Structure 1
Amino acid sequence: MPKAVGIDLGTTNSVISVMEGGRPEVIVNAEGARTTPSVVAYKGDERLVGQIARRQAALNPAATLFEVKRFIGRRWDEVKEEAARSPFTVKEGPGGSVRIEVNGQDLAPEQVSAEVLRKLVNDASAKLGEKIKDVVVTVPAYFDNSQREATKQAGEIAGLNVLRVINEPTAAALAYGLERKGNETVLVFDLGGGTFDVTILELGDGVFEVKSTSGDTHLGGADFDQRIVDWLATEFQKDNSFDLRKDKQALQRLIEAAEKAKIELSNASETTVSLPFITFDPETRTPMHLERTLSRAKFEELTADLLRRVRKPVEQALADAKLDASKIDEVILVGGSTRIPAVKRIVQDIIGKTPNESVNPDEAVALGAAVQAGIIQGDSSLGDIVLVDVTPLTLGVEVKGGMIAPMITRNTTVPAKKTEIYTTAENNQPGVEINVLQGERPMANDNKSLGRFKLEGIPPMRAGQPQIEVTFDIDANGILHVTAKEKTSGKEASIRIENTTTLDKSDVERMVQEAEQNAAADKQRREKVEKRNNLDSLRVQALGQIEENGAATQDAKDKLKAAADEAEEAVRSDDDARIDAAQKKLEEELRSFMTAAQAQGQDAGAAQGQPQAKADDDVIDADFKPAE
């Protein structure tokens, strides 16, 4: 059976892991790195993913997409602030959803995330030597139903079979507790690039039971970066009367510099941000430069309100679990932003103990996802492991008066199923609209609507007489399914979901087909580039041989130089047939040159009574020997 893998689809970086010999192991990508930037760039007909996309971001800011996880499964009115500060165009899509405009095309966040997933899986397939289809993908514990469904759809668009969607802190706990045998109460503090989660679990005898979860899906490392961006831009504007945030290229460079400064301040008391040629004076067109020194104290001042927001979810999780901080045995830090010294201090202040840093905060989530994949596939090396997770937010329906009637409360163990009976508010009411809500506020309008379900065809009856049975069913992925039927008449009615931010089935199928077509086209482009690069490398090698083999005849040198020049022109032409012909000719001329040079060397050596030189097999891969 092909192996299933675990994927941490992160806001900033993503990681893929697999079970090997009873232990989860990170799979390095094609570039040899353990993490892959969650960045996708659209450059002409090409799609660049990962580090190669990130490197060209400053030159291609409008078509280089990053932190897209913040938009997945969201409604437009939820992400206007994040959208406003992006160098690329984020706008409202159908039904209040979010779309990203690139080169005149509107992309769903699921499509962009699918590109990252495909890159991870393709690289891993090459490393493992087998095609990967089955995956476990992680999501922030505080992701709502729409965000979970959208993440699952991203996997489907990438051509993957998503076995399970698992909460990130729970996955980290699996990685931490895999080899621990005692009973522990663990708090996982997960501050990533775009989201913040706190989860409390009880570990023991192979059981990982989530007791409570809380969080903030609008708080992450990107928000800390943005404070540095705003400070740098404001300081520059004071001196130059120019707002760098209005220049897309300058903004992209500010974002990159801010992240770098934040990372450096985790180990240093101050750092210098130096951005030469950040922009040009709009009147004189002379270059303008930015250089500022940022201290850790100033950084903590700039982010003071964000640091305060970290406290509430921790306190809420403790209250929901009915635990005092003293009952927490270990605090596990997950996510790159937990390296910020002020964040560590806050955690230690609330819990009263030094956080456990035995797990790699960048890799723990992916490692735990691989463990979950192994559990699903029945990996015998894992023994008996039971994972008991919870739903992060209360689910309910809107009732008369604009109130929410809770059906399944937050921190209820999943899978979960609950049925309630509702009725009509008016005489002879032919149908009802069931507004499914998620959130903790008492009024319906203050919570998120997941969809409006219409139950029609109710027979004429007095108000209060119909018996409308509504069932909420949450699966192991934390994704909600809702059904309804009218009991008094015995007649069932169908339900349709309207105005959700997730893609419908036809959209997903279309995007899967587009992804497959693009994958084939990308492969052809990659092969073409490799062919061109191979010829150019051979040309450089040939010129090197001309320089090194001074004993070769001038005629041999001239022939090889002519073939090298022809190869250079072929590379510039971008003509496949010409490149193939130039490659063949250059290889032939190089073989002839090496043979002649070696023979010349042998003759010279024999004449001087010296040992004959051995052919350098590393120079060119060819089955031949000097002529007798």
Structure 2
Amino acid sequence: MIIPGIDAGNSRFKFAEPGVTGVPQLITNRFGEPFTPSAVFFQAEGPPIVGTEALNAGFAEPDRLVTNWKRSMGTDAVLHSSDDGTAYRAMDILAILLADAKDSIEIKTDQVVNEAVITVPANYTEAQKQQTIDAAAKAGIKAILLPHEPTAAALGNELHKRNNCTALVFDLGGGTFDVSIVRSTGNVCEIIATGGDPNVGGRDFNDRVGEKLLDEFENTNSFRPSKEKHPIFFQEMTQRIEQLKISLSIKTQSQIVLSCEGNQLNMSVSRDQFNSWVTDIAKKTIVTTEKVIAGANLDMSQIDEVYAVGGGSMMPIIKELLEEVTGKKVSRRCEPHVAAAMGAVLAGRIEYSRQGKSYKCGEVVLPAPVTILHDILSYSVGVMALDEQGNEVCSEILPEKTPVPSIQTRLFKLAQPDQTAVTIKILEGEDGKNADRCLSIGHFDLNGLPVRPDMIGRIEVTFSLDSNGLLTAKARDTASGKTAEMEIAYDYSGKNQDGSQAA
């Protein structure tokens, strides 16, 4: 048996194992590819197919192909409906991809996979994390840990072996963006600040470039292809854009050729032209980066290393802007593509050691790592309470940057005299923020309270974070000893309490 590290990316899946020496090493899929495209194709007959084969099948029947699923995690959005009426959501797509990863790892290593460490974006919500765990279970895998992607990437780039080093980890994936400040001191590797934007990723750059190419196609041919009438053209354009991005990361100019209904665009694209198309998107990532650095109470001179990871970070404009804002060269020692999968392996070993368990690779028991990992919560969590003006607001119990795992308790008053029941509403949001602008995580009731005319603080609310940052909430009435615990019923619509889309 082995416990692999799986980097479950929006564009690509990568996986790694510890090996008998404990040094993480990449596992190719069963076709010998170093990664598996995160694509699922639903056949008219037979089971879904995954990866490169799915992308190829999608050229003929694009309506049966699902890609770019990751931003829909934590929601109930239907991404595909099969011929028999079965609805597939992002969690189901992830489960299919994880089952395929499990098969590949077992074939390549000749070891059984019952557990795995699966990376997630640092800005994932409770619902998104829970759906990841549920998807893994559906694939026959117990997710023992969900390390944040930039945290895993820092470990995969062996930051823990560099004493007294503070690194900025800039992680631009296919669907999401995270940035973390990671400090290595002695044998302790700690996350001191983290942030991100779940609505920025490589797909946004691709979409922008696609629009510009369509404009050029229309200007040249007085004809504009549409997704409804020309789905194969758009599949091919997606591949051409990926090739263009790779080419322009090496050369200053590249050629792109597109054809549709006898019309053709044969265009030379320069790196400067490409940059002009996507500069505003790239600058969004830099604004977030500056906020994270400021939130860590650091200035640029205190950053020792800049790691750019994720496929999107390979675009020259990203490196240029990063170096401009930090005043430092992006590290050439950084492995950008598979570091998260490698680091996930080490994160799993660290977690096993923390729990006092023996970590095995096959029949070999690996020694406990000497590294201690301290991660943090990337958002604030609290309960709905009334402020002095009687407004419903979020009252923080676990502020942003709370260490993970953690337990915190706060005492609250009842809202009115002689109250016999209270509903504890759990919110994701900053202290004092209007409750209807916070993300609702769940709620539970504490009933049967003894009648009392006073309104002293008597409702004790305890939040417990596990190693994955998943929340358990308990409430106790100190006057009667009555207790209740939250059974989370997540709102997968991805909306705030007032129905607006969560930021």
What's the TM-score, normalizing by structure 1?
0.71
Gaps of 5+ in 2: 353-357, 360-364, 494-503
* SS of match in other structure, 2:18: strand
Alignment RMSD, CA only?
2.2
- Partners in 1 of 2:232 and 2:417 — Cα distance? 62
In structure 2, the partner of 1:211 is: 192
- Partners in 1 of 2:421 and 2:488 — Cα distance? 15
Residues 142 and 216 in structure 1, CA contact (< 8 A), matched pair in contact too: yes
In structure 2, the partner of 1:532 is: none
Residues 443 and 486 in structure 2, CA contact (< 8 A), matched pair in contact too: no
| Pair 1:189 & 2:170 matched | yes
- Partners in 2 of 1:382 and 1:226 — Cα distance? 45
In structure 1, the partner of 2:453 is: 462
- Partners in 2 of 1:208 and 1:472 — Cα distance? 25
| Pair 1:262 & 2:245 matched | yes
Of the structure 1 ranges 10-19 and 419-428, higher mean CA displacement relative to structure 2 is found in 419-428
Aligned pairs (5 A) from 1:523-538: none
| Pair 1:356 & 2:331 matched | yes
* SS of match in other structure, 2:483: coil
| Pair 1:100 & 2:79 matched | yes
| Pair 1:135 & 2:116 matched | yes
In structure 2, the partner of 1:584 is: none
| Pair 1:391 & 2:390 matched | no
Aligned pairs (5 A) from 1:601-612: none
Of the structure 1 ranges 389-398 and 177-186, higher mean CA displacement relative to structure 2 is found in 177-186
Instruction: Give the letter aligned to residue 273 of structure 1.
Output: I
In structure 1, the partner of 2:344 is: 369
In structure 2, the partner of 1:294 is: 269
Residues 227 and 302 in structure 1, CA contact (< 8 A), matched pair in contact too: yes
Deviation, structure 1 residue 327: 0.9
Residues 194 and 219 in structure 1, CA contact (< 8 A), matched pair in contact too: yes
| Pair 1:339 & 2:339 matched | no
Residues 187 and 371 in structure 2, CA contact (< 8 A), matched pair in contact too: yes
- Partners in 2 of 1:263 and 1:439 — Cα distance? 39
Deviation, structure 1 residue 344: 0.4
Residues 233 and 244 in structure 1, CA contact (< 8 A), matched pair in contact too: no
| Pair 1:245 & 2:227 matched | yes
Instruction: Give the letter aligned to residue 417 of structure 1.
Output: I
Q: Flag the 1:430–1:133 CA change in 2: closer, same or farther, 3 A.
A: same
Residues 444 and 484 in structure 2, CA contact (< 8 A), matched pair in contact too: no
Residues 99 and 109 in structure 1, CA contact (< 8 A), matched pair in contact too: yes
Which one has a bigger Cα radius of gyration? 1
Residues 152 and 341 in structure 2, CA contact (< 8 A), matched pair in contact too: yes
- Partners in 2 of 1:484 and 1:153 — Cα distance? 26
Residues 226 and 258 in structure 1, CA contact (< 8 A), matched pair in contact too: no
Instruction: Give the letter aligned to residue 379 of structure 2.
Output: L
* SS of match in other structure, 2:161: coil
- Partners in 1 of 2:36 and 2:61 — Cα distance? 19
Deviation, structure 1 residue 330: 1.0
- Partners in 2 of 1:100 and 1:8 — Cα distance? 22
Residues 140 and 197 in structure 1, CA contact (< 8 A), matched pair in contact too: yes
Aligned pairs (5 A) from 1:295-314: 295-314=270-289
Aligned pairs (5 A) from 1:89-238: 97-103=76-82, 104-177=85-158, 180-238=161-219
Q: Which protein has greater RCO, CA pairs closer than 8 Å, 6+ apart?
A: 2
Of the structure 1 ranges 351-360 and 372-381, higher mean CA displacement relative to structure 2 is found in 372-381
Residues 333 and 356 in structure 1, CA contact (< 8 A), matched pair in contact too: yes
In structure 1, the partner of 2:54 is: 53
Gaps of 5+ in 1: 75-96, 281-286, 503-628
- Partners in 1 of 2:271 and 2:7 — Cα distance? 30
Q: Flag the 1:460–1:149 CA change in 2: closer, same or farther, 3 A.
A: same
For each residue in 1:365-403, what CA deviation from the matched residue of structure 2 results, as whole angstroms up to 9, or x when unmatched?
000011123332446456411111000001112222122
For each residue in 1:538-576, what CA deviation from the matched residue of structure 2 results, as whole angstroms up to 9, or x when unmatched?
xxxxxxxxxxxxxxxxxxxxxxxxxxxxxxxxxxxxxxx
Q: Flag the 1:256–1:487 CA change in 2: closer, same or farther, 3 A.
A: same
Deviation, structure 1 residue 481: 1.2
- Partners in 2 of 1:382 and 1:456 — Cα distance? 46
Deviation, structure 1 residue 245: 3.5
Which of residues 271, 284, 295 in structure 2 aligns to 1:320?
295
Aligned pairs (5 A) from 1:461-610: 461-462=452-453, 464-465=455-456, 467-501=458-492
In structure 1, the partner of 2:4 is: 5
The structure in which a higher percent of residues are helix is 1
Instruction: Give the letter aligned to residue 344 of structure 1.
Output: K
- Partners in 2 of 1:456 and 1:251 — Cα distance? 57
For each residue in 1:338-376, what CA deviation from the matched residue of structure 2 results, as whole angstroms up to 9, or x when unmatched?
111110011111221111132321100000011123332
* SS of match in other structure, 2:245: helix
Aligned pairs (5 A) from 1:390-409: 390-400=376-386, 401-409=391-399
In structure 2, the partner of 1:29 is: 29
Residues 12 and 193 in structure 1, CA contact (< 8 A), matched pair in contact too: yes
Residues 22 and 382 in structure 1, CA contact (< 8 A), matched pair in contact too: no
- Partners in 2 of 1:39 and 1:349 — Cα distance? 35
Q: Flag the 1:245–1:130 CA change in 2: closer, same or farther, 3 A.
A: same
Residues 160 and 189 in structure 2, CA contact (< 8 A), matched pair in contact too: no
Q: Percent identity?
A: 30
Instruction: Give the letter aligned to residue 31 of structure 1.
Output: F
- Partners in 2 of 1:395 and 1:237 — Cα distance? 49
- Partners in 2 of 1:227 and 1:479 — Cα distance? 35
- Partners in 2 of 1:19 and 1:178 — Cα distance? 17
- Partners in 2 of 1:440 and 1:231 — Cα distance? 39
Deviation, structure 1 residue 147: 1.3
Q: Flag the 1:305–1:416 CA change in 2: closer, same or farther, 3 A.
A: same
Q: Flag the 1:381–1:120 CA change in 2: closer, same or farther, 3 A.
A: same
Of the structure 1 ranges 312-321 and 421-430, higher mean CA displacement relative to structure 2 is found in 421-430
Q: Flag the 1:452–1:289 CA change in 2: closer, same or farther, 3 A.
A: farther
Instruction: Give the letter aligned to residue 40 of structure 2.
Output: V
- Partners in 1 of 2:277 and 2:422 — Cα distance? 50
Deviation, structure 1 residue 141: 1.2
Instruction: Give the letter aligned to residue 8 of structure 1.
Output: D
* SS of match in other structure, 2:119: strand
In structure 1, the partner of 2:362 is: none
Residues 62 and 102 in structure 1, CA contact (< 8 A), matched pair in contact too: no
* SS of match in other structure, 1:422: strand
Deviation, structure 1 residue 251: 3.0
Instruction: Give the letter aligned to residue 476 of structure 1.
Output: S
In structure 2, the partner of 1:62 is: 63
Deviation, structure 1 residue 306: 0.8
- Partners in 2 of 1:132 and 1:178 — Cα distance? 28
- Partners in 1 of 2:454 and 2:65 — Cα distance? 56
Q: Flag the 1:201–1:179 CA change in 2: closer, same or farther, 3 A.
A: closer
What's the TM-score, normalizing by structure 2?
0.88
